[in-house]
Amino acid sequence: MATSASSILRALGTGSGIDLTALVTQLVDAQFASKNQQLGRQNQRLTAQISGAGQLRSNITSFADGLRTLATGGGTATSPTSSNTAVVTASRIGGASLAGLNATIEVQKLARGQTATTAPVANRTAPVGAGTLTLTFGTAVVSNQGLTSFTPGSGTPVAITIDPATSSLDNIAATINAANAGVTASILTDAGGARLTLRSQTGASQAFTLTATEDPAAPGLSALDIGVGTPGVIVGSAAQDAVVAVDGVAVSRSTNQISDLIDGVRFDLVSAAPGTSVAIGSSAPTTALRQAVNDFVSAFNTLANGTKNLTSATGGDLFGDPAARNFQTALGRLTLTNLATPAATGAPRTLADIGVATNRDGTLSVRADRLDAALSRFPNEVEALFADGAGATGAGLAAAFKAIADTAVNADTGLGASITRYTRSQGLIAEQQDKASADRDVVRNRLTQQFAGVDSQLAAYKSTQSQLTSFFAPRPTN
């Protein structure tokens, strides 16, 4: 049918002399122009709405992520201090409240692992011997760089197989490291030859022995024995626990990174200093909190202005969108939301209480005098407003906004639902555009057939006219 119509279109006008092809096109275009323009405008509007909803959803998510980072980063939380960081440093564990922290620490011993070096072998690349090396952990007494006693622990000894083909000192060290048995192997070369050096993790229970069971076909592995009274072995460091006194009470730990002495504080032991008391206190994040309030207001205003533009009655892509409107309303109430439940009378509960004011256009501003007064009188309570918590109220700013954000971007009732609705409508528009295109082709073909018939009749009339004209034309006389 389409081919036939196309052939007719090419022939149209040959009889009448009129450009009937152009005439058909103009008539069809005129009939469908209004419909196509209407569908095109609706499609553009829906595209803009989908884009606007996606943009707002992204803005909300980014703002929520920023507040979450602020709450969990520790920059707005009271941090522990050490009066002597050359002996011990202190850091805050996430989620801890350290207001009023006051303690003393004395580092009497640092935790150490055992370091043992075997008797030398002449060539580190030559085979030493094959068999099995058994690594046993426990506690030991060290004297004059040698093990004088060893008590095995409750753990199962680790057997490490040494193959004859890979029995050089270099290969043995690599095999031990690959076993991940709790020691690190390396090679030490001195004037006497090459020595296998093993280092364990810290703690008194990390002393070890290394015992060879030789392969009779490739003897010599026992040269690497590390044990009580083994000739040539040098124990450079004895395994021991760290010993610290907290407010005069001595405790031991297997590592120099300790997180269970004082709730919420991690201690890193730097050096042993028996008899030296280090004061542990706290530092309020006054400057950081002041900066956080101002940064929040700046970011809030960017979000609020973007939302206002998207929902504007004069050209806003999301004007009338219920999810965007509800979010804008919730955003306007954020400064009055209870973010904490302080016990102190007059202590701040909301952002408005610390001088964050709402302007007529919906943006925020900071009253510096009120913020400074709150930080001066209630530093801990202001800190609590930015704490990491969960819940729409009473659990910090990040949690309060998260509750708003979760509702706003919800796939069933929020912006996610709006995007789904707009996308479905756009699909219906596409179906209507396809139908309009099909209807256009039908009308075009019908008009083409009609005008083809007319053109044929006109051609016949012109032929008859030509004959009559010729018949009645005057003839010359002789």
The arithmetic mean of pLDDT across residues 207-218, rounded, is 94
Asked if residue 362 has pLDDT above 50, the reply is yes
pLDDT at residue number 420: 86
Asked if residue 201 has pLDDT above 80, the reply is yes
Please count the residues of the chain. Answer: 478
Tens digit of each residue's pLDDT (9 = 90 or more) over 380-425: 889 889 888 776 666 789 999 999 999 999 988 888 888 888 888 7
pLDDT at residue number 389: 73
Asked if residue 311 has pLDDT above 50, the reply is yes
- pLDDT range class, residue 433, cuts 50, 70, 90: low
Edge-to-edge order in the sheet of strand 79-82: 79-82, 278-283, 103-109, 242-246, 249-253
DSSP-based three-state secondary structure for 96? coil
Question: Worst-scoring range by mean pLDDT, 43-47, 219-223, 271-275, 283-287?
Answer: 43-47
Tens digit of each residue's pLDDT (9 = 90 or more) over 249-266: 999 999 999 999 999 899
Number of C-alpha atoms within 13 angstroms, CB side, residue 445?
Answer: 11
pLDDT at residue number 434: 65
Amino acid at 460: A
| Dihedral sign for Cα atoms in the order 85, 88, 93, 99 | negative
Nearest to 416 by CA among 53, 59, 49: 53
Tens digit of each residue's pLDDT (9 = 90 or more) over 99-138: 788 999 999 999 999 999 999 998 999 999 999 999 999 9
The more confident residue out of 330 and 424 is 330
pLDDT at residue number 475: 65
State how beta strands 103-109 and 278-283 pair: antiparallel
The more confident residue out of 267 and 427 is 267
The arithmetic mean of pLDDT across residues 139-163, rounded, is 95
| Dihedral sign for Cα atoms in the order 396, 402, 407, 412 | negative
Question: Worst-scoring range by mean pLDDT, 196-200, 303-307, 420-424?
Answer: 420-424
pLDDT at residue number 25: 63
pLDDT at residue number 10: 46
pLDDT at residue number 367: 94
pLDDT at residue number 178: 95
pLDDT at residue number 113: 97
- pLDDT range class, residue 15, cuts 50, 70, 90: very low
Instruction: Judge contact between 218 and 126, C-beta under 8 A.
Output: no
Tens digit of each residue's pLDDT (9 = 90 or more) over 40-84: 677 677 788 888 888 899 999 999 999 998 888 878 888 899 999
Residue 245 CA: distances (Å) to CA of 240, 273, 275: 16, 11, 10
The arithmetic mean of pLDDT across residues 279-290, rounded, is 90
pLDDT at residue number 171: 95
The arithmetic mean of pLDDT across residues 429-441, rounded, is 66
pLDDT at residue number 244: 97
Asked if residue 318 has pLDDT above 90, the reply is no
pLDDT at residue number 8: 43
pLDDT at residue number 447: 61
Asked if residue 195 has pLDDT above 80, the reply is yes
Number of C-alpha atoms within 13 angstroms, CB side, residue 262?
Answer: 27
Mean pLDDT, all residues of the chain: 85
The arithmetic mean of pLDDT across residues 436-446, rounded, is 64
Question: Worst-scoring range by mean pLDDT, 88-97, 215-224, 396-405?
Answer: 88-97
pLDDT at residue number 168: 94
Question: Worst-scoring range by mean pLDDT, 11-15, 26-30, 401-405?
Answer: 11-15
> To the nearest whole percent, how much of the chain has pLDDT over 70?
81
Asked if residue 427 has pLDDT above 60, the reply is yes
pLDDT at residue number 39: 62
Task: State how far the Cα of 242 lies from the Cα of 254, in Å rounded to an integer.
Answer: 6
The more confident residue out of 306 and 437 is 306
Asked if residue 232 has pLDDT above 60, the reply is yes
Asked if residue 14 has pLDDT above 50, the reply is no
Q: Which of 25-29, 196-200, 434-438 has the highest mean pLDDT?
A: 196-200
